[in-house]
Structure 1
Amino acid sequence: MTSQLAAHGDGDLALLHERVARARRSVVAIRAGALVTTGWVALGNGVVVASRRGLGYPTEVALAFEDGRGMAGRVIAADVGRDVALVAPADPPGVAALAARAAAEPRLGERAAVLSCLPGQSLRLAVARVCHVARKVDGQLPVFELDVAAPLGAPVLDPEGRVIGVVAAPSGAAGELAGHCVVVPAGAFQPLLALGDRPLAELRDRAPVYRCPACEEPFDVECDRCLGCGRLLPHAYPPCPARAGVERVIRQGLSTLGLIANRVRVGPRAWRIAQRPYPTAEAATQVDIEIDEAGRLLTLRAPVVGLPAANHEPFYRFLLTMNDQTTGEFRVSLTGDEVSASCVASLEGCADHDVALLIDGLVQMADEYRRTLAETFDAAPRFESAAGR
């Protein structure tokens, strides 16, 4: 994580500089499989608050702190309805926890600052105002909206540098307007936070229990619907009867690779995984998996390298030669400044082991081409797609 501060929004940022300088050390970038999100240290033992949806449903995650240190982390608790999760670091991170405001109920028009960071990116500061506050329901603190877009899990600070909430996607919240974000107030997840206020040694073996936002029954992350009330669970997408068969093939194919489809699903027709070409490989290749609207075609795509700084003409010729020598459905393409390996295959008559073989073959091809292009043209290896999904 770099120390550069990128400022966005209006207002006199000089008034916030000192408080942001203190708070920035407590903002954490989190990598959870193929997902990346933001979190922040909320307790003295180093426990981090993040968005459950931003994390997905992992057990182990990787934390990156503002000073560049990396550390393993474990998800220990979650509130699915409020979209909040707690992550315990492997060791005390040695940074101060962000203080929460005692009276965390937001006020319409109140000024706030949002701090966020993703792995490999600089810290970002957005200055905003509270533009909408929902009504209280059964005395619960209401969610509110800010007039800026912000990543899930980012802490929202008042002008005194105290946390008043976390950017999240709580269940039942109305969809925010473009350029806005929904915030869960700090007071709403204090009971969950109290569960993590223990010595780290007592938290390392904990695992979160995910409960249905409607009936509070625990659910298995592999299920699409709650077995207690039948509600579609937050991680699932509306089922499409026309694609039920091919989605089952994808699900079983991923299971063959040791992956749970619902944990890596990133869209109604898309999944994103991180797969190693061989068990001892240092880095995993990201593979974007997508089926078309009709459920007839399967598209796989994996990043390989970035465009080299020089020797573009021989580089392009080399790519054309690689395509000529590539057999089957696999191809190499250049989009923007990124070379990727891809595959488009028909799903008609496709079995689960066929999907697994295609993914495995693409990952191995991407790894081989990545090493060849890096050695021949000094092209920087890429293990993640530059384009978000």
Structure 2
Amino acid sequence: MSRLPGLDLLRAIAVVWVMLFHSYLVGGMGEFWGQIVTHGWMGVDLFFVLSGYLIGGQLLKPLSQGQPFRPGDFYLRRAFRVLPAFLAVLAIYLAWPGFREAEGMQPVWQFLTFTLNLLIDYQHNRAFSHAWSLCVEEHFYLIFPWLAWWMTRRPSTAKFVSVCVAVLLAGLALRGYVWLYQMAPVQGLEDVERSFGRRFVEDIYYPTWMRLDGLLCGVVLAAIQVYRPQLWAGMQRRANLLLVAGLAVVGVAIWLFMERTALLPTVIGYPLLSMGLALLVAAGASTRSWLGRWRVPGAGWLALTSYSLYLIHKPVFHLVDTHLGTQLQGQGVLAFAVYAAATLAAGAVLHYSVERPFLRLRERWYRRGQGAREAVAAAG
């Protein structure tokens, strides 16, 4: 799939928004930027929607055309994409304790098996905790290809809608149950904030089965594009309307999440936010929309390096704070500019020295494999 300026811009916004959110590690950016920073965690949900849309399209399109199901190819391509940079950063975390943004760190086997988000002791082990979202993505990569294959063997709108509704309702029910029966009781403890916040992160915010809304909305977009091309074309013609609607829905979600750990946003906030973000992604996929035509300088590069930036930004924030924190304290935007510059430099090193070479190796491997399959087909 060719790169689209609108999607690149959304990916750039997502990674910058997450970086802004994690500025609390170094004292924040001041009151003026408070609301933007406070809701920066939503950048991860935007990543989920983008991933659901792009990966969903990669899998559903060939299946819809009757091409053979090759899960091995898919897993190998994802391994080339995800593992090299992740393992490189994990190795630095293990070899250099001073690199860590927090003292405690979960056992290495949880990172290697992508079970961190299910087993983390968030109160004591927060170093490299942002790898939780990679765990959600990996679980999606593991299960969705087989689900897509099953659904496309005998395509049925009713079957697809039933699965989507089941995933949506399961998320609503699980979050509501955990909030009412596991989180609400700790409100009576002396250390309310720490106990309640820890349970929220460990039992609701991190587990994969609680955070499928964004991936689901992205997959729905991909399914519409592949199986309902006329509907998708109509959506693309109305991309600016989708953009306005998406901004409105995300605005409502932001208002709802003013009290982030309350029952109502916990239950319905995530699917609402994901639906709004999906409308933005649909608009960004159109070259006719304001979003799709708006070529922001540097957005393409940020999108290209967003994975490396996401992996490395927290420890780089920590290192800058350790050496320059006193001088930058209270400097707001100037301080974030210094932290951002250091992160961009570190992200560029990681991307060009690790991530990009393995992506090129992946493409060479894929071309050889494709050539071999075509030769076998021709001989047959």
Mark yes or no: TM-score above 0.5: no
| Higher RCO (CA-CA < 8 Å; seq separation 6+) | 2
Higher strand share: 1
Per the normalisation by structure 2, the TM-score is 0.29
